Amino acid sequence: MYVSITGLKPKGIIGWIRFWAYTIPASKDAQNAEGILHCEFNSRNGYQHTLTVWKSKEHMLGFLTSPPHLKAMKKYSKIGIGKVYGYEANAIPSWDEALKKWIKAI
């Protein structure tokens, strides 16, 4: 399995508007993407997080190049600041476990 955790902190009101306009459609698309095993959203410390678990890294990369995700990624720096961290795993991690890895990576 491949785990991907994203943390994005929108910049001001315009960042929030862009977040809703671009990120939400991509998130909905992720929930139905080929190879998705788990897709969950959370908010912590001002960051909007997405935790996705895929059958393989190849499945995640297939979603990465989907039109809704590409559109959101092109606006990433205008939406806010953040990081993405991915890793191989044998089980779906808890939020706490995934966030600990994400924090170490940033």
Would you state the structure tokens that stand for residue 39, as one six-digit string? 């897709």
Q: Given this model, what pLDDT does residue 64 score?
A: 87
The rounded average pLDDT for each run of 10 residues, N- to C-terminus, in the chain (106 residues) is 96 92 86 95 93 96 86 84 95 96 90
Residue found by looking up tokens 């991915």 in the block: 86
Q: Given this model, what pLDDT does residue 26 score?
A: 86
Angle between helices 67-74 and 57-64 (to 10 degrees): 70
Report the alpha-carbon angle 48-83-88, nearest 5.
100
- The distance from CA 102 to its chain's CA centroid, rounded to whole angstroms, is 11
Nearest Cα neighbor of 55 from 34, 31, 35 is 35
Q: Given this model, what pLDDT does residue 5 score?
A: 96
Give the global pTM.
0.89
Would you state the structure tokens that stand for residue 43, as one six-digit string? 């908010």
Amino acid at 77: S
Euclidean distance between CA atoms 60 and 64, whole angstroms: 6
Q: Which domains does the chain have, with CATH numbers?
A: 2-105 (3.30.70.100)
3-class state of residue 60 by DSSP? helix
